[in-house]
Structure 1
Amino acid sequence: MAGPSRILVYGVYGAGKSTVAEDLARRLGLPWHPVDELTWEPGWVEVPTAVQRQRIGAICRQPRWILDGAYGPWLDIPLARADLVVGLDYPRWLSLWRLVRRTARRVVTRERVCNGNHESLGSVFSTESVIVWHFGSFARKRRRMRRWQADPGGPPVLLFRRPADLEDWLADLKAH
């Protein structure tokens, strides 16, 4: 695929959306906008939905961007403007393993997640845990990606079911 300039990277929690978005930004010279930076304030305070929609809308009105995810309340905005969706449709065991490994690393190292926020043992074992969110959204997100791919009226969707397939596609992209 030559020349995508508005890319939505989509998948379940732990699939590697941010890693892929960052890599695509480097290879294609596109600005990457980490979604968590736009939706969470310090202290894990969620940005009001109306403000999230404004922020995402402002980005998506630009001619060039990459987003590393899309949340339900504003999913319509990037989907209407994207000229490519990169769907990470990996098996649950793989994305869950990656998510648990990443979360454990972040808890131990106190790695900054977004806007100065950190994951903690308390957050891991809460009802708002990213691991709980993974279980609650996995099937819905997979169905959504597959529906998008089958829709001729939407943007092109490249669905990757194995990391090796994604790596092959990335290797074909010109690095900047």
Structure 2
Amino acid sequence: MSALFRRLLGPAIVGLAPSLRTLHDEDGDQVWTGLAEIRTSDNPFTRLLCRMMRLPARGSGVPVTVRFERRGATEHWHRRFGDRQYRSTLRIRHGRLIERMGPAASSFDVSAVDGALHMDLVGFRFLGIPLPRWARPACHAVEQEQGAAFMFDIPVDLPLFGRVIHYRGRLERIDD
């Protein structure tokens, strides 16, 4: 079975920048490391929510390690940002990327534009219950290449609370 993002993007995957292709268009497991800048809300509720989901804590120059495991039709992403770890499972359903992380499942439209990968949140379930558009998080994640470096930029907003977390950084592959 071909790589998950190749199945999602089809021929458009060839338009991704080289570092993105290396990460998303290979069948084997990979480990990438780097540094991130993480901004979080000062709101106590959203900070608690981020902690419960084990999302990255606020910081600058935070060490990041991401292990990508490819298993048939799914990918498992194991992330470590400083001392926080979390895992998600990705699959394709009805032409969309579904990312399950704990009690939450996010549905993304994925596209390749000018060498960058865009992932737009279009659906969200919590404990299996779909949230209506007005109540669900908003996220427009972008992966792109600067120089030869893989860059990620992930903002997450919640209705009524605004920006909950915004993490961005740079990764490079560790060769086995």
- Band the TM-score falls in, shorter-chain normalisation: under 0.3
Q: Which has the higher contact order (CA 8 A, sep 6+)?
A: 1
Which structure has greater helix proportion? 1
| Structure (1/2) with the larger strand percentage | 2
